[in-house]
């Protein structure tokens, strides 16, 4: 008699395999693993990584979704060498979204939009975001890619995650701004 493997275990296997590949890249996969963990509702029916991006960025074109996914996963040609605009030796999502001096004007406009969305829809994490911009930039990047809820775990650490039960427009508006900014950054290097 042939034993049937439950679908969820198959999806978990492929998620774990993809996460291991992403974790080996420069960005260390921390964004993806924090926002889209296998126990989330995204994987209850089936695991389709690219479908995640399509659902999050429903009104964005392919170029914008690709830029978002490249920055999210850490697999972007910009992360393979020193920054061609400022010379930073190990660029990653944090560098381009929050630090590179070349993009200061665009970043200021981008972060104003993000702060407005946080203020209107996620006011409880706005102070964390503002603090993390200059301190713990990993938290800021998690929020820029869609973390919208925080919780304190048993050992006292605060964890940020994406709660898919939030209102749809609010849930996807900050990642949409991140997709726009990532697309601008990539286009500068492609021209």
Could you tell me which residue, 98 or 48, shows the higher pLDDT?
A: 98
The whole-angstrom distance between residue 46's C-alpha and the CA centroid of its chain comes to: 20
Name the DSSP class of 167: -
What's the whole-model pTM score? Answer: 0.79
Fill in the DSSP letter of residue 150.
E
Residue 36: closest CA among 14, 58, 62: 14
| Helix (H) or strand (E) run with residue 173 in it | helix 168-190
Give the least confident one: 61-70, 102-111, 159-168: 159-168
Residues pairing with 149 in the sheet: 161
Q: How confident is the model at residue 66 (pLDDT cuts 50, 70, 90)?
A: confident
Angle between helices 104-121 and 168-190 (to 10 degrees): 170
C-alpha 28/C-alpha 102 separation (Å) is 24
Q: What is the mean pLDDT of residues 128-151?
A: 89
pLDDT of residue 95: 94
Q: Which residues on adjacent β-strands are paired with residue 159?
A: 151
- Lowest average pLDDT, out of 2-16, 30-44, 109-123, 129-143, goes to 30-44
Beta bridge partner(s), residue 161:
149
Residue 182 has pLDDT above 70, yes or no: yes
**Residue found under tokens 């560098």:** 95
Residues 32-59 pLDDT 10s = 666 665 554 444 555 555 556 666 787 8
Kindly state the helix (H) or strand (E) to which residue 186 belongs, with its residue range: helix 168-190
Distances from the Cα of 36 to the Cαs of 48, 99, 125, 183, 188, in angstroms?
11, 25, 19, 22, 29
């Amino acid at each position: 008699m042939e034993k049937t493997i439950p679908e969820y275990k198959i999806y978990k296997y492929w998620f774990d395999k993809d996460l291991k590949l992403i974790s080996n890249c420069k960005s260390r996969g921390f964004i993806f693993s924090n926002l889209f963990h296998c126990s989330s509702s995204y994987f209850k029916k089936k695991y389709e990584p690219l479908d995640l991006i399509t659902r999050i960025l429903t009104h964005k074109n392919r170029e914008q979704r690709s830029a978002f996914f490249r920055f999210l996963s850490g697999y972007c040609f910009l992360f393979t060498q020193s920054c061609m605009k400022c010379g930073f030796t190990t660029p990653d999502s944090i560098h381009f979204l929050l630090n590179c001096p070349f993009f200061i004007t665009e970043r200021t406009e981008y972060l104003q939009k993000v702060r407005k969305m946080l203020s209107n829809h996620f006011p409880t994490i706005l102070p964390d975001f503002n603090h993390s911009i200059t301190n713990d930039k990993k938290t800021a990047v998690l929020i820029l890619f869609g973390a919208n809820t925080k919780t304190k775990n048993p050992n006292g650490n605060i964890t940020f995650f994406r709660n898919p039960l939030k209102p749809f427009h609010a849930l996807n508006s900050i990642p949409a701004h991140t997709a726009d900014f990532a697309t601008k950054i990539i286009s500068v290097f492609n021209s």
